[in-house]
Structures are given as C-alpha cells and as structure tokens.
Structure 1
C-alpha cells in the first residue's frame, strides 16, 4: 500500500465512520461520486449521491452506531483511482447483533477530491 493511498483511504474512512456514528445521510452521501454504485446490506443497487442518501436514511435509527475498519488494504491503481478492501465491524450497542462485513471501495478523483465511486458490502461468511 502506498503511503499516499493509505493516507487518502484513512481520511475517507475517518469521515465515513464519523458520518455513520450520527447516521448522517448528507455527510455520508457527500463522500460518494455523482456516478456511484452502492451495494449495502440489502440486495438493492443504489446509484449516485441521492441513492446513497436513500440507503442511509432507510437504516434503523440506532442510538449509538459505531463502525470500525480493520484489515484495510489499498492500492493506487492509477493517478485518479484507488482500490480498497477492508473488514468492517458494526457495533450497534446491543440493538441488534453486531455485524461484520467485507467491504470494497473504488475511489476516484472527482473535482479535485477523492470520492467513492463503487461501494460493495458482502457477508464475511462463506457462501460456497
């Protein structure tokens, strides 16, 4: 992982976790590209910032949500593209069972800033 890609991904993760802790759909959707594809915790494909906001606005209003990223891997695939994979542990303070998912993001440089253009969450449990 390059130090530049690591720093960029770390900054986006910090903003994402802060937004998730407040379930702030506006703050979270601002981290995504206008052309984003988003697969979250349900089968629907959400598109663009409005779709991302719809997803986060549709989540239950947990009192104290927390997300922690681990096993973060990032690579700068081109000057304007970073590929990231990680594990995210969601602590929902006993309001539902804790959730651990695999996450992949593709970040692109858009209007001088780094935005998530592809977000894919999947089960950590083997499917096959």
Structure 2
C-alpha cells in the first residue's frame, strides 16, 4: 500500500459518507472487521452489525449530509498490513449546503490485504474525556 492507495481509501470513505451510501462504505471493510466506535455499542464484530450501525447513522441525519475531512494523517505500511491514524472531522451540512455543526474524533485503521485489495480489518474512533467534567471533547484544541 502506498500513499496513493491510502489517499484513495480516505477519499472513498468521505464520498460514501457524504452520499450516505452504505454499500460503498461497507465495501471498504473486511467481512470480519472489528469496530470500536465512539457511539453507543462497545464494539461491532463483523460487517453485518457494522452495516446496521452505519445504516442507522445515515438514516438519523435526515436531509442533511455529512462532510468528512482528514487531518494529520500518518501511516505505517508493510507488505500485507497497514495502519492509518488521523484526526477526522465530521461536518453536518444542511439541505441549503451550509455547515450546521462539526465534531472531531481520533481515528485508527488497520488495513489488511484481502485477495489483492486493501480492506479495513479494524477501526477505532475515540475522543478525550475531560477529567473534571467527564464530558467528551469533540473538538481538537
């Protein structure tokens, strides 16, 4: 996996989220993916539970769309395994194409080569918790 391949995965992820395309998004993931998501469920094991979660997320935004930006992307690549970690920003975009709100997460992906293609085999998103208020900080300062 080279820098161009990583960029393609990031761009495909952003396009699938913006288009609320569950199939395109899930095509980036291995069937046996394990996801540690920031929201609701402790972990998702396998593509089917992750598909259900993603479909619920996309349905919850209604007429809005979600823009995705990646910052501070760093990678480590071997022949059949790659890690990607970055800061990801999700932007709520209203029907009038105006940004309504945004939030940031820390993102780590582990990608494995599957039949010649790179697939996300593990995803972990997180955000720091304020030690005094116990509130999650969804904006990087």
Band of TM-score, shorter chain: 0.7 to 0.9
Runs of 5+ consecutive residues of structure 2 not aligned to the other structure: 132-141
RCO comparison, higher one (Cα < 8 Å, 6+): 1
Which residue number corresponds to residue 70 of structure 1?
71
Provide Cα deviations, 1:73-97, integer angstroms capped at 9, x if missing partner: 0111x31000110001111026864
1:51, CA displacement in angstroms?
Answer: 2.0
Q: Does 1:16 align with 2:20?
A: no
1:70, CA displacement in angstroms?
Answer: 0.8
Which residue number corresponds to residue 40 of structure 1?
37
Question: Aligned to 1:118, which of 119, 122, 127?
Answer: 122
Take 1:111 and 1:51, find their aligned partners in 2: how far apart are those partners?
23
Which residue number corresponds to residue 101 of structure 1?
105
Runs of 4+ in structure 1 off by over 2 angstroms are 93-97, 125-128
The structure with the larger Rg is 2
Which residue number corresponds to residue 29 of structure 1?
26
Q: What do you get for the CA RMSD once the two structures are aligned?
A: 1.8
Runs of 5+ consecutive residues of structure 1 not aligned to the other structure: none
1:108, CA displacement in angstroms?
Answer: 0.3
TM, length-normalised to structure 2: 0.79
Provide Cα deviations, 1:31-58, integer angstroms capped at 9, x if missing partner: 0011100122314211222122111111
Take 2:20 and 2:37, find their aligned partners in 1: how far apart are those partners?
14
Take 2:101 and 2:38, find their aligned partners in 1: how far apart are those partners?
14
